[in-house]
Copies of this chain bind each other. A is one copy, B any other.
Amino acid sequence: MALDKLEHADEQMQECIDNCLDAAQVCEWCADACAGEGEEMARCIRLCRDVADIASLHARWMARNSGYHAELGEICADLCEECAEECEQHDHEHCQACAEILPECAESCREMASA
């Protein structure tokens, strides 16, 4: 059985959780792969590490309906946008995957934060 629905989470929140977990996964992959690709990837590694941390925590705080998830969501959105801008400049498959996935996460975090 896959997790169907958290009791408190409407469709918008569940979508934001899913987007954050996708963002965290792709950034874990990208940060790790970039470590083997030389010092010009330093900024990419750093931003991906921050996104992986905050998107994971944001998903967990939404899952438990923490009183501060919106505040965390704002930072998550900012970081996803900055990281996507960095990643789209690199041709690696992992960087291109980041550049495609992170803007959607940023958008749903903004919507959740202002809901």
Q: Does A66 contact B (CB under 8 A)?
A: yes
Bound complex: CA A39 to CA B41 (Å): 10
Taking CB atoms, residues of chain B closer than 8 Å to A18 are 2
**Chain A, 25-55, CB within 8 A of any chain B CB:** 25-26, 28-29, 31-33, 35-39, 41-42, 45-47, 49-50, 52-54
- CB pair B7–A93 under 8 Å, yes or no, is yes
A-B contact pairs, 17 of them (CB 8 A): A1-B101, A2-B101, A7-B33, A7-B94, A8-B29, A17-B25, A21-B21, A25-B60, A29-B63, A29-B64, A29-B65, A31-B49, A31-B64, A35-B42, A52-B60, A56-B60, A68-B79
